[in-house]
Amino acid sequence: MAALTTKNPQVRVSHDNIRAYLYLPDSMMDDYTVNDVQDALQRSGVKYGILESKIQEMIERRQYGREVLVAEGVAPKDGVDGYYEYKFNTNFSKKPKVSPDGSVDYWSIKMLETVTEGQEIAVYHPVVRGVDGVDVRGKLVLAKRGRDLLPLRGKGFERLEDGLTYVSQIDGKIEMRNDRITILPVYEIGGDVDLSIGNIDFRGDVVIHGSVCSGATVKATGAVTVDGIVEGARIEAGKDIVLRSGVMGASRANISSKGNIYAKFFEYTRVHANGSIQADVFLNCQVSCGENIILDGKKASIIGGEVGAIQGIVVNTLGSDGQVKTKVKIGNGTTVTRRIGILKSKIQVEKANLEKIEEGLNLLKDKKNDPRRTDLLRVKIRDSALLAEDTAELEKLEDQLERARGGSIKVIGRVYPGVCVEIDELKILVKEEQNSLEFLRDMDKIIMCAV
């Protein structure tokens, strides 16, 4: 700001109106007075938080040609939202880590977080209220109001009398989804599942720190984790299965999951997952998978048996130098497309029948006691249920077809002779040893591309 030759105190107010600064130009005339400054402040609307001593000091010391803070309001202090401090791990990886040497560490998988009865699981930090301020023009400046959070929702825990602390009511597995905490019981076995333990059928998660011996059956609506070897046993889970030490099935093991499966290896085992499967080795196994099969560790291989997935397969080594008969397949065979055609025709007939039933009911709508009307209502209920069931199956199969589009079988390392590759209804037999290939469908044939 250029110096002036007349007495003209200048006031600048900050953009938030919290501070005001005084500028006294160099004066060739008389000195400034307090009244001169007060008049300038008044013209600028500054009337709160005036620092009289600063003004007096500027005049006495002739502090010209620079701005000095001469009024300061009270800045508002914004409130702080309330928040929860969780005393358990809310985010952990359910997938194995790959070691620097290329091997896969299945012990790194953590499927669940457990708590004990009475354990503190969360503490609520209440909202910090905001404090309003006043600007130099004397106007109220509203502070941001802090927002309180609702009490935690879920089951298996309680809020203590202080209203802030939450503790577990049971020993079990704790999980958090959509801001809802659930603690469910976990069946934990310290040793092997054998004749002394008997078969297990549990609503919840099962954790076995030993092995599962031949002939045993383990069923769970939740996840199943086994630290030791699984022998010729049956394991069924409503969620994921983690087999840290693998399966030596002896052609008697059956592993089935509605979620994903992670295992060190499978030998002579029947395996099914609605989700994905990740392992190091399939040796002479019968495998089906609703999503992807991944065997990408340094020594990962599929040798013998039949391994199929809907979406895709990634494997390091496919087959063996002994030319063991090995089949891998992705996509959908003719059975699926044929079933879709049957369902579409069936649904058409069911809809037409329901329309005729509705016409009959309309004709009999005034004859509520007529037995013909009762019979038609019974048939309508039955046929409506059949239609809903067939429609759900059709939607599932059409989704399966859609998910299979563009899938491939990718081999990072070697492919040996004796391997049969299927994509949908197409087949190709590998006759020569090859390296780093990807099998893809191109119209009505399977092509092999270098990776």
How distant is the alpha carbon of residue 325 from its chain centre? 39
Residue 231 one-letter amino acid: E
Cα separation of 183 and 157, whole Å? 7
Per DSSP, the three-state class of 86 is strand
- Beta bridge pairs of residue 158: 167
Residues 265/249, Cβ–Cβ less than 8 Å: no
Cα separation of 388 and 240, whole Å? 29
Cα separation of 222 and 174, whole Å? 13
Q: pLDDT tens, 305-350?
A: 999 999 999 999 999 988 899 999 998 877 788 888 899 999 999 9
| One-letter-per-residue 3-state SS of 234-260 | EEEECCCEEECCCEEEEEEEEEEECCC
Question: b/e string for 344-380 if b means 16 or more Cβ within 10 A?
Answer: eebbeebeeebeebeebeeebeeeeeeeebeebeeeb
Cα separation of 284 and 263, whole Å? 15
What is the pLDDT, as a whole number, of residue 65?
86
Residue in 233, 184, 183 with CA at minimum distance from that of residue 208: 233
Residues 333/308, Cβ–Cβ less than 8 Å: no
Residues 404/354, Cβ–Cβ less than 8 Å: no
Q: pLDDT tens, 91-126?
A: 766 677 777 777 777 766 766 788 889 999 999 999
**Burial of 1 from C-beta contacts in 10 A (0-12 / 13-18 / 19+):** exposed
Weakly modelled stretches of the chain, pLDDT under 70: 1-7, 27-30, 92-94, 107-108, 110-111
Q: Which residues contact 388 (CB under 8 A, 6 or more apart)?
A: none
Q: Which residues contact 257 (CB under 8 A, 6 or more apart)?
A: 224, 236, 237, 239, 240, 241, 272, 273, 274, 275
Quick check: pTM over 0.75?
no
| One-letter-per-residue 3-state SS of 263-280 | ECEEEEEEEEECCCEECC
What is the pLDDT, as a whole number, of residue 403?
79
How distant is the alpha carbon of residue 153 from its chain centre? 19
186 token code pair:
């976990």
- Cα torsion 207, 212, 217, 219 to 10°: value is 20
Residues 227/210, Cβ–Cβ less than 8 Å: yes
Helix (H) or strand (E) holding 201: strand 200-202
What is the pLDDT, as a whole number, of residue 6?
52
Cα separation of 443 and 2, whole Å? 80
Per DSSP, the three-state class of 267 is strand
Site of tokens 């905490």: 181
The dihedral built from the CA positions of residue 152, 156, 161 and 164, taken in this order, carries a sign that is: negative
Residue in 239, 185, 235, 238 with CA at minimum distance from that of residue 211: 235
Cα separation of 426 and 407, whole Å? 13
Query: How much of the chain is helix, strand and coil, in % rounded to 5?
Result: 20, 40, 40
Cα separation of 199 and 320, whole Å? 37
Residue in 393, 330, 316, 382 with CA at minimum distance from that of residue 353: 382
Residue 9 one-letter amino acid: P
Cα separation of 393 and 412, whole Å? 36
What is the pLDDT, as a whole number, of residue 374?
85
